[in-house]
Amino acid sequence: RFLLGGCVRGEEGNLLSSCSVCVSPTPFPLPTVCTGTDMKLLRPSSPESHYETLRHLYQGCQVVQGNLELTYLPPDADTTFLKDIKEVQGYVLIAENQVKQLE
């Protein structure tokens, strides 16, 4: 499905809902957008669930709508889940981490 100009089109291009102005599907895929966080330096109650939450939020994400806050990551954290991020529309905070590098 494509959401373009208020129109919803199926995979074959047929109109699934009404709209005032319709645009043809773009030849390139739309970026995957995810929601950022606003925790600042608040210490998480569970470091394990904090890491899993970050991984779940940003896995496959290309555009972070809001802030990208990478805090309190453990030394063995695998940060490859960040590899697809191309744009952050808020601020980037990298602080209080034990991990040696971000990938």
Domain range annotation of the chain: 33-95
Region of residue 48 (left: phi > 0; alpha: psi -120 to 50; beta: else): alpha
Please tell me the pTM assigned to this model. 0.72
Task: Tell me the pairing of strands 33-35 and 92-95.
Answer: unpaired
The answer to whether residue 6 scores a pLDDT higher than 60 is no
Q: What is the pLDDT, as a whole number, of residue 1?
A: 39
**Residue 78 CA: distances (Å) to CA of 1, 22, 51, 103:** 33, 43, 9, 8
Reference 92, options 63, 72, 68; nearest CA is 68
pLDDT in tens, 49-88: 999 999 999 999 999 999 999 999 999 999 999 999 999 9
Residue 8: helix, strand or coil by DSSP?
A: strand
